[in-house]
Amino acid sequence: MPLPGSRCPKEIQEDYERNSGAMIVASSLQIVIGFSGLWRNVTRFMSPLSTVPLVALTGFGLYELGFPLLTKCVEIGLPQLILLVIFSQYLPHLMKGGRNVFDRFAVLFSVVIVWIYAHLLTVGGAYKNVSQATQLSCRTDRAGIISSAPWIRVPYPFQWGAPTFHAGESFAMMTTSFVALVESTGAFIAVSRYASATPMPHSVLSRGVGWQGVGILFSGIFGTGNGSSVSVENGGLLGLTRVGSRRVIQISAGKFGAVFASIPAPIIAALYCLLFAYVGVGGLGFLQFCNLNSFRTMFILAFSIFMGLSIPQYFNEYLSVKGFGPVHTNARWFNDMINVPFSSEPFVAGVLALILDVTLPPKDNTTRKDRGMHWWDKFRSYKTDTRSEEFYSLPLNLNKFFPSV
């Protein structure tokens, strides 16, 4: 994205205008599906069994952003991973008095130490005679984000130009928005688990999807270049640090956001190795409610997880080798509508698991219990558990406009 105040080439300008228009149209999909309650009706068919592949691959499916990215500068990425494990898992048990400190601030402590170490390597000339790619991955002074980021900046609508609307690109973006909707559902469920909340009411989950659509609408209006979705790493951060305060996100803007954005990518990749793993294992936690001795259960889990990894691998390899996806026609928007969904691990696994779980005929009257539905039955009513009111109520008495029952 161009820096504020700079002029774009005509082609880039047109791309941003088309992208903004497509996002504005695509936002309507999540807004309608979410606030109408349609997604609530879909998620009612979900069980702990069909939730496992969706949530697990929401985290584990991002494995390419972990160790492969870390190895682009292994001398700072690997120390970051080791220190993070030590601070978060070992020191809390060795130093009982500071247990909460190390649990809560493991990320900050380890990042600061490795960042200083990486800066010493940079100013010491360790990367003077290396390739440009290595310098971009390892050096701490190449981003230029801190110096260019303003302390306070007020964006305004259509700052990169008036949006343009094209039917094909709008449909392609709507498909991408639906994929993001499914992936976000998996992250929502993982976050609710780590927040010690009750199983998320279907109405609240649908409402969250609607608000995510509103976020995409604002993204298109303000020309961010990408839409809004759940931050999967924040779900893992909740599991790692047990800190779920929204104030942490609110202050991460301006210069503060620029400081964190300037951290070398291998350090961030080391964090992802734990954060994405936490989200993935949050999905595996639902296995405790399923009967793993049932062959129906084992088939659904095995087939959906395997295909959720295998199909996207085929689509991504095809793209990397030939430069285009398996579906390659003269209509780029149609190609994207097919290639994008099948390149997403959680989308393929989650949709396949839900279809199999709903359509496979039960073998006996214990199938409902094998799926884990008996565990969710008592939470079907929003008011059953007092924690539901605590975690899922809207502020400022807005529940009367968006009821949860």
Q: State how far the Cα of 319 lies from the Cα of 311, in Å rounded to an integer.
A: 13
Cα–Cα distance for residue pair 147/306, rounded to 1 Å: 46
Reading the block at residue 100, the tokens are 């909460």
Domain extent for 184:
15-149+171-379
Measure the CA–CA gap between 142 and 111, rounded to whole angstroms.
Answer: 18
Residue 190: is it exposed, middle or buried by C-beta count within 10 angstroms (0-12/13-18/19+)? Answer: buried
Domains in the chain: how many in total? 1
User: Does a structural domain hold residue 154?
Assistant: no
- Per DSSP, 338 falls in state H
Task: Give the Cβ contact number of residue 104 at 10 Å.
Answer: 16
Burial-class residue 55 by CB neighbours within 10 Å (0-12, 13-18, 19+): buried
Q: Looking at the domain assignment, is residue 387 inside a domain?
A: no
Contact 53, 284 (CB under 8 A): no
Q: How far is CA 52 from CA 41, 117, 182, 250, 298, in A?
A: 19, 39, 13, 31, 12
The pTM of the full predicted model, rounded to 2 decimals, is: 0.81
Query: Is 53 a member of any domain?
Result: yes
pLDDT at residue 323, rounded to an integer:
84
Residue 155 lies inside a defined structural domain of this protein: no
What pLDDT is recorded for position 342?
A: 92
How confident is the model at residue 7, as a pLDDT?
47
What pLDDT does 82 receive?
93
Q: Whose structure tokens read 């303003």?
A: 150
Specify whether the backbone of 144 is left (phi greater than 0), alpha (psi in -120 to 50) or beta: left
Q: Does 190 reside within a domain?
A: yes
Q: What is the pLDDT of residues 37-86, one digit of tens each?
A: 889 888 888 889 999 999 999 989 888 888 988 988 888 889 999 999 99
Report if residue 1 sits inside a domain: no
| 99 Cβ contact partners less than 8 Å away, ≥ 6 residues apart | 92, 93
- Domain assignment of residue 26, yes or no: yes
Res 312: pLDDT: 92
pLDDT at 307: 94
pLDDT averaged per 10 residues, the chain (length 405): 49 68 86 89 89 92 88 90 90 70 83 88 82 79 58 71 78 87 89 78 85 87 76 81 66 56 82 90 89 90 94 91 86 86 92 92 77 75 55 53 47
Domain for residue 181, yes or no?
yes
Contacts 24+ apart (CB under 8 A), 392-401: 392/197, 392/200, 392/201, 392/204
Task: Evaluate whether 244 touches 65 at the Cβ level (below 8 Å).
Answer: no
372 close to 47: Cβ distance less than 8 angstroms: yes
